[in-house]
């Protein structure tokens, strides 16, 4: 492949000459044993990448840089919550990861075991993730804001040998104690981890259970100089599981391999982000979400960059804090979410103007659709390319964006971009299963198998769910569905039009409406409930609930309704976490349904968004929707 290939040539080669293409990308990482076969797709839809090769994700992220950049900053941990800032060179990161690996081993963690990580955005969380893959254990990171019920279901599914946590996180100056939530989750879970490792930040009191709970600091002291070599694992050996919301309450563990993921990230840093060793990457996400895994921890380190890990809000101590970090650390690559930009858009523009952000090459945004006014505002403010991108927890790296490392291309506001190399992206007619090839035809965004390296191998311990959820929703085709509607213009730019299923996107966080419904329905006075995602100018979408009460005799006035609404919200907070809390809970006498009893969620959503609900001839009780109209105004 020549350096002067157009992106169209590059993409076509990745699809038409798949094995040759990925064999070339595999040279971007270190292998202990070279792969014997690029792709084994003999059992569709299960793809095995770089079969026979052995490698290690931690080696590629840390150890291989020691010869040339040991003293370069690898990880910078900044917290505006605790006013702390600490930089770790590659050599220091290497030492800290070995200490954590030694401690985990001392607690009984072995190759193939799971370690659940429930932590705030602190350096020790990165050490824990890297230590797990160093010794061949699988990490399962659960977002630090999740409540005990959600955490318990994930402990039960992952069956971790050990849990790594901290006394507390902090948000907006408010301390969130983690230990009581963790203790309650373990009490609720059928699976009981043998060991709990606690990082004490001194933010909240922490009761340690004798025999099970251990403090990090004294154990770290014991292993200051312990050498823990990398465990070379098969390319197909799982590196981690990460839970994503589905349309059922049971958590869905996305299982990722090792070799394919390492190659995919190395390739994305080169081709998509045009990143060079020694540059600085600042992703404002959290390790509880896939962006944190791919582009806070692994991707930048694999590329030999400095990565910034940030605990705090974009507006505290003031709305200039992110730009002060860009200036101080000469950030070249910044990755955030449209919600964060919309928050900053409401602040005084002087906060941005006072900092020198000329080091930035571009700002990448993902997690939810990027509206044109927001994109235009931040583009004018930063004077750098604003590059949207679209992907999923399941894929691990972008499906649609611009590969400016291959060929410089122009952003089209409103579009996340073009299909990335390796992804056989199609638009499919939902009813017939036929491919739509003309411009501006609306279809389901789908991907022809095999999924490229770095995508999910399967659902953790549930191959049948992997096949049935992702590969069987389009009639007559074994093809991966993203569950998003899209169109593609004549130049190959895609536009995402919303979900085909019951998953909503709140500020970049995917939530199953079913999970929220189950939580609300467990309130003793709720008989039935429907939750829909409603467009929101700040968060993209918010959850809105419509509930039928069992006993309405007490709901005689606004005060009583507000009290019950508060109870329901508190319950969702407790069971799922604040991120899942609906913006409103409206109480109705009946929910709109078809004559066959199917809930008309799309009609509810349309009314809540003040849109035309469309054809309602199948509706059993037209008055049900009128009641919703009257409530939402």
- Name the band, by pLDDT with cuts 50, 70 and 90, for residue 631: confident
Considering only CA atoms, which of 322, 320, 241, 319 is closest in space to residue 283? 322
Is pLDDT above 50 for 381?
yes
pLDDT of residue 35: 98
Mean pLDDT of the chain: 92
List pLDDT tens digits, range 261-273. 999 999 999 999 9
pLDDT confidence band for 616 (50 / 70 / 90) = low
The C-alpha atoms of residue 152 and residue 160 are separated, in whole angstroms, by: 11
What's the mean pLDDT in 187-199?
98
* Higher pLDDT among residues 611 and 279, named by residue: 279
Mean pLDDT of 324-349: 91
Q: Which pLDDT tens digit goes with each residue over 470-527?
A: 999 988 899 999 998 899 999 999 998 777 767 787 877 777 777 788 789 889 898 8
Q: What is the pLDDT of residues 108-163, one digit of tens each?
A: 999 999 999 999 999 999 999 999 999 999 999 998 878 898 899 999 999 999 99
**2 pLDDT band (50/70/90 cuts)?**
very low
The predicted structure's pLDDT at residue 552: 84
Q: Is the peptide bond before 404 cis (omega within 30 degrees of 0)?
A: no
Q: 115: exposed, middle or buried (C-beta count within 10 Å: 0-12, 13-18, 19+)? A: buried
What value does the mean pLDDT take over residues 80-85?
97
pTM for the model: 0.85
Report which DSSP code applies to 116: E
Asked whether the predicted pLDDT for residue 245 surpasses 80, the reply is no
pLDDT for position 246: 57
Residues ≥6 apart with Cβ < 8 Å to 45? 449, 450, 451, 466, 467, 470, 471, 478, 480
* Tokens read off for 600: 């008309």
Distance CA 633, CA 629 (A): 6
CB burial of 255-275 (b: ≥16 within 10 Å; e: otherwise) equals: bbbbbbbbbbbbbbbbbbbbb
Domains of the chain listed by start with CATH number: 443-499 (no CATH), 503-632 (3.30.300.30)
**pLDDT above 70: percentage of residues in the chain:** 96
Task: Give residue-wise pLDDT tens across range 419-441.
Answer: 999 999 999 998 889 999 999 99
């Amino acid at each position: 492949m020549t350096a002067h290939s157009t992106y169209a040539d590059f993409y076509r080669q990745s699809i038409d000459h798949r094995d040759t293409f990925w064999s070339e990308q595999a040279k971007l990482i270190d292998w202990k044993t070279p792969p014997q076969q690029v792709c084994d797709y003999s059992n569709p839809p299960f793809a095995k990448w770089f079969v026979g090769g052995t490698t290690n994700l931690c080696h590629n992220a840390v150890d291989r840089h020691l010869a040339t950049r040991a003293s370069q900053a690898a990880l910078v941990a900044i917290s505006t919550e605790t006013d702390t800032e600490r930089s770790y060179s590659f050599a220091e990161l290497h030492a800290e990861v070995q200490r954590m690996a030694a401690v985990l081993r001392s607690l009984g963690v072995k190759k193939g075991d799971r370690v659940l990580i429930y932590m705030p955005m602190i350096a020790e969380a990165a050490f824990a993730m890297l230590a797990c893959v160093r010794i061949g254990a699988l990490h399962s990171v659960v977002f630090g804001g999740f409540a005990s019920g959600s955490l318990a279901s994930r402990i039960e599914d992952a069956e971790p040998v050990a849990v790594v946590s901290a006394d507390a996180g902090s948000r907006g100056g408010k301390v969130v104690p983690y230990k009581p939530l963790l203790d309650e989750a373990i009490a609720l879970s059928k699976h009981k981890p043998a060991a709990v490792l606690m990082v004490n930040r001194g933010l909240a009191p922490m009761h340690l259970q004798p025999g099970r709970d251990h403090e990090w600091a004294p154990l770290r002291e014991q292993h200051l100089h312990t050498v823990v070599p990398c465990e070379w694992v098969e390319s197909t050996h799982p590196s981690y599981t990460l839970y994503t919301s589905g349309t059922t309450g049971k958590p869905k563990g996305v299982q990722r391999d090792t070799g394919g993921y390492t190659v995919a990230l190395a390739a994305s840093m080169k081709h998509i982000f045009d990143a060079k060793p020694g540059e600085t990457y600042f992703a404002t996400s959290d390790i509880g979400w896939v962006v944190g895994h791919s582009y806070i921890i692994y991707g930048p380190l694999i590329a030999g960059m400095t990565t910034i890990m940030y605990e705090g809000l974009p507006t505290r101590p003031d709305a200039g804090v992110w730009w002060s970090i860009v200036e101080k650390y000469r950030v070249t690559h910044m990755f955030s979410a449209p919600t964060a930009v919309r928050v900053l858009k409401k602040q005084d523009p002087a906060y941005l103007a006072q900092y020198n952000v000329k080091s930035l090459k571009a700002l990448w945004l993902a997690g939810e659709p990027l509206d044109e006014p927001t994109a235009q505002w931040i583009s004018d403010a930063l004077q750098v390319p604003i590059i949207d991108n679209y992907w999923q927890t399941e894929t691990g790296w972008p499906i649609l964006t611009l590969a400016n490392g291959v060929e410089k291309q122009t952003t089209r506001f409103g579009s996340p971009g073009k299909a990335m190399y390796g992804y056989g992206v199609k638009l499919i007619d939902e009813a017939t299963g036929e491919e739509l090839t003309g411009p501006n035809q609306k279809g389901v965004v789908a991907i022809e198998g095999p999924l490229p390296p770095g995508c999910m191998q399967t659902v953790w311990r549930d191959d049948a769910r992997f096949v049935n959820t992702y590969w069987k929703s389009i009639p007559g085709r074994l093809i991966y569905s993203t569950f998003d509607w899209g169109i593609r213009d004549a130049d190959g730019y895609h536009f995402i039009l919303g979900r085909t299923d019951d998953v909503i996107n709140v500020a970049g966080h995917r939530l199953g409406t079913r999970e929220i419904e189950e939580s609300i329905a467990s309130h003793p006075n709720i008989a039935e409930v429907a939750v829909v995602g409603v467009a929101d100018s700040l968060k993209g979408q918010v959850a809105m609930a419509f509930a039928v009460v069992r006993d309405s005799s007490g709901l005689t006035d606004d005060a009583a309704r507000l009290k019950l609404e508060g109870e329901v919200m508190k319950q969702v907070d407790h069971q799922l976490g604040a991120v899942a809390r609906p913006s409103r809970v409206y109480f109705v006498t009946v929910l709109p349904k078809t004559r066959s009893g199917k809930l008309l969620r799309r009609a509810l959503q349309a009314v809540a968004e003040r849109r035309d609900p469309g054809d309602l001839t199948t509706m059993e009780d037209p008055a049900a929707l009128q009641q919703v109209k009257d409530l939402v105004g």
